[in-house]
């Protein structure tokens, strides 16, 4: 007997392997899953504009990458001692204008190259609520603590989201016809709008994604039900962090396992298990590093790295290999 409602995950026509090039953009949930792929040595670019919450900001960022539009000094704003861009997360802000520009443009340059060669693009929508800058009409990616009076705040209507993505996806497939797009909705609730408005916002995102996928079909677009997994399978506060809104590590790991099983090729899952064993060996810290047992442990670790690289030379295990070699030299 099952004691929870299980969310059925549809089969995906193609699965990720270690040759796949991946881009993830969107909310902090995209960063959580992206970080797991990155740790396992997949070829991934995570949020070249930083964390983005609403679908229009994500679409605008994609258009910048498609056109490879570099930012100029006039594109930046200055407040509280920092230069920043309304198209970027605060991680790109700097006291030095030239440094901020360099950070922004280097990521655009890399992201523009990656989007042209990517096999998978994952887009995670967080909220349908947006802030539009009064002076320019731009839907901003981050308010950067600029006073609320400088913005018009409103909830995107579903048809507007669908129309924006009809345009941007067509542009994407012009430069990368083989790109697979996977949508998700972040399960993290935006509670400051209240329970009802949060649900309306999420419903708007879900309806828009459903319409977008309906327009293009499952060969080009798919949906991974992270939101539904949390709402139905994990509807218990033990799966939440202390703020009762963000997810706990346990919840993220459970979603990751479902993501892995649904979207990652079985052979690549086996490789991932070997990489995890190697990384655990790197993280191991013995009481005494001068014992024969530790020497054997380190030697075996290096052997595992070399064996894995011999079978899969495209893997990037430089950090792990350097660690074991350095430890052997120091024995």
63 shares a domain with 37: yes
Residue 143 covered by a domain: yes
238 shares a domain with 115: yes
Residue 16 covered by a domain: no
Residue 3 covered by a domain: no
324 shares a domain with 236: no
* Residue where one domain finishes, among candidates 241, 264, 287: 264
Specify the number of domains making up the chain: 2
Percent of the chain with pLDDT over 90: 84
Angle (CA) 315-50-106 rounded to 5° is 70
Residue 299 covered by a domain: yes
251 shares a domain with 318: no
Q: pTM for the full model?
A: 0.94
Q: What are phi and psi of 98, to 5 degrees?
A: -65, -35
Which CATH number do you get for residue 129? 3.40.50.1110
Which domain does 37 fall in, by range? Answer: 21-264
* Residue where one domain finishes, among candidates 239, 264, 289: 264
Listed residue (71, 72, 65) closest to 123, CA to CA: 65
What is the average per-residue pLDDT within 76-100? 97
* pLDDT for 1: 66
Distances (CA, A) of 184 to 65, 81, 131, 259: 21, 36, 22, 11
Residue 152 covered by a domain: yes
280 shares a domain with 241: no
Listed residue (254, 229, 233) closest to 5, CA to CA: 233
Listed residue (222, 200, 197) closest to 209, CA to CA: 222
Return d(Cα 159, Cα 314) in angstroms, integer. Answer: 43
* Residue where one domain finishes, among candidates 229, 246, 264: 264
Angle (CA) 140-141-145 rounded to 5° is 80
What is the average per-residue pLDDT within 235-249? 90
Return d(Cα 30, Cα 24) in angstroms, integer. Answer: 6
Return d(Cα 248, Cα 252) in angstroms, integer. Answer: 6
**Residues contacting 327, CB < 8 A, separation 6+:** 289, 298
The overall average pLDDT reported for the chain is 95
Mapped onto helix, strand or coil, the DSSP state of residue 2 is coil
Residue 41 covered by a domain: yes
98 shares a domain with 33: yes
HEC letters along 97-141? HHHHHHHHHHHHHHHHHHHHHCCEEEEEECCCEEEEECCCCCECC
* pLDDT for 41: 97
238 shares a domain with 314: no
Q: What is the dihedral of CA 203, 246, 29, 148, to 10 degrees?
A: 70
User: Is residue 159 scored above 90 in pLDDT?
Assistant: yes
Element (H, E) at 318: helix 318-330
Q: What are phi and psi of 12, to 5 degrees?
A: -100, 135
Q: 49: burial class by Cβ within 10 Å (0-12, 13-18, 19+)? A: buried
* pLDDT for 331: 79
pLDDT digits (tens, 9 = 90+) for 294-311: 999 999 999 999 999 999
255 shares a domain with 280: no
What is the average per-residue pLDDT within 167-173? 97
278 shares a domain with 320: yes
**Confidence class for position 40, pLDDT limits 50, 70, 90:** very high
Residue 189 covered by a domain: yes
pLDDT digits (tens, 9 = 90+) for 143-156: 999 999 999 999 99
322 shares a domain with 193: no
**Confidence class for position 10, pLDDT limits 50, 70, 90:** confident
pLDDT digits (tens, 9 = 90+) for 47-57: 999 999 999 99
User: Is residue 120 scored above 80 in pLDDT?
Assistant: yes
What is the average per-residue pLDDT within 69-87? 97
Mapped onto helix, strand or coil, the DSSP state of residue 177 is coil
Strand partners, 132: 139, 152
User: Is residue 289 scored above 90 in pLDDT?
Assistant: no
* pLDDT for 230: 94
Return d(Cα 71, Cα 49) in angstroms, integer. Answer: 12
290 shares a domain with 231: no
Residue 13 covered by a domain: no
* More confident site: 244 or 25: 25
What is the average per-residue pLDDT within 196-225? 95
217 shares a domain with 96: yes
User: Is residue 254 scored above 80 in pLDDT?
Assistant: yes
* More confident site: 185 or 29: 185
What is the average per-residue pLDDT within 244-262? 94
Return d(Cα 36, Cα 239) in angstroms, integer. Answer: 18
């Amino acid at each position: 007997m099952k004691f929870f409602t299980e969310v059925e995950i549809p089969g995906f026509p193609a699965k990720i392997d270690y040759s796949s090039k991946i881009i993830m953009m969107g909310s902090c949930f995209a960063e959580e899953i992206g970080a797991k792929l990155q740790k396992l040595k997949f070829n991934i670019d995570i949020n070249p504009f930083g964390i983005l919450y609403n679908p229009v900001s994500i679409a605008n960022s994609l258009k910048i990458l498609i056109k490879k539009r570099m930012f100029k000094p006039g594109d930046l704003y200055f407040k509280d001692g920092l230069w920043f861009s309304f198209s970027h997360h605060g991680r790109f802000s700097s006291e030095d204008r030239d440094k901020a520009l360099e950070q922004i443009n280097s990521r655009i340059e890399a992201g523009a190259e990656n989007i042209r060669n990517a096999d998978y693009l994952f887009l995670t929508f967080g909220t349908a609520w947006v802030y539009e800058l009064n002076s320019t009409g731009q839907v901003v990616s981050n308010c950067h603590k600029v006073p609320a009076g400088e913005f018009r705040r409103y909830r995107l209507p579903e048809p507007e989201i669908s129309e924006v993505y009809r345009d941007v996806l067509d542009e994407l497939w012009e430069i990368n016809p083989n790109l697979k797009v996977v949508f998700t909705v972040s399960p993290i609730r935006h509670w400051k709008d209240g329970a009802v408005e949060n649900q309306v916002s999420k419903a708007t995102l879900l309806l828009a994604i459903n319409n977008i996928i309906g327009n293009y079909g499952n060969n080009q677009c798919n949906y991974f039900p992270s939101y539904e997994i949390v709402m139905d399978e994990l509807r218990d506060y033990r799966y939440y962090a202390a703020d009762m809104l963000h997810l706990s590590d346990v919840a993220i790991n459970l979603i990751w396992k479902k993501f892995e099983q649904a979207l990652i090729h079985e052979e690549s899952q086996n490789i991932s298990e070997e990489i995890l064993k190697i990384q655990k060996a790197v993280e191991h810290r013995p009481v005494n590093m001068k014992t024969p047992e530790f020497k054997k442990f380190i030697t075996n670790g290096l052997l595992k790295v070399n064996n894995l690289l011999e079978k899969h030379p495209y893997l990037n295990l430089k950090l792990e290999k350097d660690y074991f070699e350095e430890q052997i030299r120091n024995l």
